[in-house]
Structures are given as C-alpha cells and as structure tokens.
C-alpha cells in the first residue's frame, strides 16, 4: 500500500508540474516567428524574441481568453490544494472517508484544464491557415495533465474504499 501511495503522490506531483508549465510557458500556438500562450505573444525579429500583448481583434475574443486564463489558473490551484488535502487526510481521517476531498479537488482541476484547452481549441487560431503553424508543447501538456488529473481523481475515489 505504501508503494501505491507513493505512486499516486508521484502522479499527482507530475500533474501539478505539467499544469504549471502549461499555464505559465509561452507555447500554446507556435510558428517559426511567433509563439503564443494564454497571456502574451512572442514575436521573433532579427533573431530576438520580443514580448507583445495578445491581439485584441476578433481572432482573440477577450471573454473566451479570460475564460481560458481563469480555468488554467483554477486547475493549478485545485490540484495544489488537492495534494495538501491528500497529505492531511492521509494522517487524520479514518478509513473509508480518506481521499474523497482530494478526489474532488483533482476532479475539479481535471474539469478546469479540460475547459481551458477546449475553449482554446474551439475559439482561437481558426483563421490562421499557415502550414508551419501548430499547437505548441504547452497545449499538449494541458491535455496530458487533463488525463493525469483524471486518473488521479479516479484513483483517489477508488482508494477511499481500501482498508489498508
């Protein structure tokens, strides 16, 4: 059981790291000269990457952008809270009720990052038909962290029933 708990903590921490990188790093949409995230755009001119604000035209609707930003940040917060609650529950609650709150926090983190990535997929970069443009590593990490947080939340709900 100790190995199982260590594995679950490792998956949870990996999920938190991936969520933080996906939220903070600047590669949700990349081309040869542009790298865009949910916070800003970096444009390469003369071999130097320059920070710029995101465009405010119809390709970047502000209400959807704010929804993506808020959902990504909430996913990080819920996942971090989930690991702290897990550690507290591990030593304080009796068997059978142990990991319910941790599972709920992870499920909320899972839903938040899914919402952020789904809105980004549906509403951004629809008119950018460049052959060399693609979703960047942060976008992919967001979907991987969705899977990890979902697996983690299901594991917490299953572990709730264990008697060890």
Q: Which domains are present in the chain?
A: 2-159 (1.20.140.150)
Tell me: pLDDT of 29 over 70: yes
Tell me: pLDDT of 111 over 80: yes
pLDDT per position as a tens digit, 8-19: 889 999 999 999
Strand order in the sheet with 41-45: 48-52, 41-45, 34-36, 29-30, 134-135
Q: Which pLDDT does position 66 carry in this prediction?
A: 92
Gyration radius of the chain over CA positions: 18
How far apart CA 100 and CA 14 sit, in angstroms, is: 20
pLDDT per position as a tens digit, 43-75: 999 989 999 888 777 667 889 999 999 999 999
Sequence-ordered list of residues with C-beta below 8 angstroms from that of 23, at least 6 positions apart, any chain: 38, 72, 73, 75, 76, 138, 142
């Amino acid at each position: 059981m100790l190995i199982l708990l260590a594995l679950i903590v490792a998956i949870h921490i990996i999920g938190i790291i991936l969520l933080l990188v996906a939220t903070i790093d600047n590669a949700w949409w990349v081309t040869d000269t542009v790298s865009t995230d949910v916070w800003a755009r970096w444009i390469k001119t003369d071999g130097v990457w320059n920070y710029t604000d995101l465009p405010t035209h119809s390709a970047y609707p502000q209400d959807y952008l704010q929804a993506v930003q808020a959902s990504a940040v909430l996913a990080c917060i819920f996942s971090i809270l989930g690991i702290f609650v897990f550690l507290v529950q591990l030593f304080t609650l009796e068997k059978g009720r142990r990991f319910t709150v941790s599972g709920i926090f992870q499920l909320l983190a899972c839903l938040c990052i899914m919402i952020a990535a789904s809105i980004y997929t549906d509403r951004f970069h629809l008119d950018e038909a460049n052959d060399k443009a693609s979703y960047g590593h942060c976008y992919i990490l967001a979907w991987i962290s969705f899977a990890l947080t979902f697996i983690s939340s299901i594991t917490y709900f299953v572990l709730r029933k264990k008697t060890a």
